[in-house]
Amino acid sequence: MSKIAFTGPTKPPPAMLDAAHKYVSKLPHGTVVISGGALGIDTAVAEAAVNCGLNLELVVPFDKLWNDDILEWAEEYETIKVPGEYRERNIRMVNRCDFLVAFLLKGPNEFYRSGEWMTVNIAKKRNVEVEYVRGDW
C-alpha cells in the first residue's frame, strides 16, 4: 500500500482541479491519499479519494483555517491535527508519504513562492520522489 501526498495551489484553475480528480481516480485500490485539507487541490484530491473509495489522511494545522467541508469527510478518516504553521503541516505530510505529487501553476523549473514549492523543497531534502503535474492551465 503506497501513501501519496498531494500539494498544489489553493486557487487553481478549473482544468487543474479536473486533472487532480482524474489523477486520483487512476490510483490503485489500497492507496492512501494524504491531503493538507486546504481549499483548492487539497480539497479536490480528498474529495476524489473519498469518491473512489481510497483511504484518506488529512494533515491539518488546528490553529489555521481550512475547508470546513473536508472536516466532515475527515471524521470517517484519519486526521492528524498539527500545531503551528503550514510549514510544520507540510513537513508532516512529506514524512508520512512514499511519494509527492505537486500540481504547479508553472513548470517545474519556474519557481514561484508558494506552499506547493515549500512542500516540494521539503520532499527533495528528505529524498522523497516528486512528480510534477503541469498542464496547459
CATH of the domain at 124: 3.40.50.450
pLDDT digits (tens, 9 = 90+) for 63-114: 665 666 776 766 555 667 777 778 888 999 999 999 999 999 988 788 788 8
CA distances from 27 to 54, 67, 101 (A): 8, 24, 12
* Helix, strand, coil percentages, rounded to 5, for the chain: 40, 25, 40
| Interatomic CA distance for residues 39 and 70, integer angstroms | 9
pTM: 0.90
Q: Which residues span the domain enclosing 69?
A: 3-133
Question: For the chain, what is the mean pLDDT?
Answer: 88
Cα–Cα distance for residue pair 45/101, rounded to 1 Å: 11
Number of independent structural domains in the chain: 1
